[in-house]
Amino acid sequence: MDTTRPSAVEIIARLFASEGAADYLGEPVSQAAHMLQAGALAEQAGAAPELVAAALLHDVGHFTGTRTGHDLMRGTDNQHGEQGAAWLTQWFGPLVTEPVRLHVAAKRYLCAVEPGYLSRLSPASVYTLGVQGGPMRADEITEFEASPHAGAACQVRRWDDQAKDPAAPVPPFEHFAPLLGALAERSGDTGPNGRR
């Protein structure tokens, strides 16, 4: 095994410290602070380790794909759920990656089926909802509900919505490193592009 190659945790930590330190697209926190808050909320709720990881990593697609979060704010859907999930499959299985992939769909779903949900979204999230397709149509609702990961995606979405408080205490990334390391090891992490 090549020990000079960085681990999943090291690569993700660098992402949080670099691109993640940037402003979070119209919200009062950085992207890293937003994701750390979401991970902390999942942890406080007693979520399974995979779901904590999904909450923590749900927005990595804003800076791991060909389109960025800035493209999204300029009116082009950057497909960050899909991009982030695809990137994370290097190290994690579907219990982590599928809620990440579906968290935008979960916003669209909850706007369609839950009275009052839309009114609780931040202005930036309302704007991006329009870019991302708006509330789901009936056929999309049926398809979303058929996914075995729909419930987990909705949980991640709710933590996502709550994780925009500039006054909230934010654990450092290192707090989550052991959890991420254990999950990557369990999935057979062999380093970047070493699996799948």
Quote the pLDDT of residue 62: 82
pLDDT 10s digits, 128-144:
898 889 999 999 999 99
Please give the structure tokens belonging to residue 184. 């990557």
> How many residues make up the chain in this entry?
196
Quote the pLDDT of residue 190: 43
- Domain chopping of the chain, boundaries: 8-186
- 191 Ramachandran zone, left/alpha/beta (phi>0; psi -120 to 50): left
What CATH number does the domain located at 8-186 have?
1.10.3210.10
- The pTM of this model reads 0.88
Q: Cβ atoms within 10 A of the Cβ of 87, count? A: 21
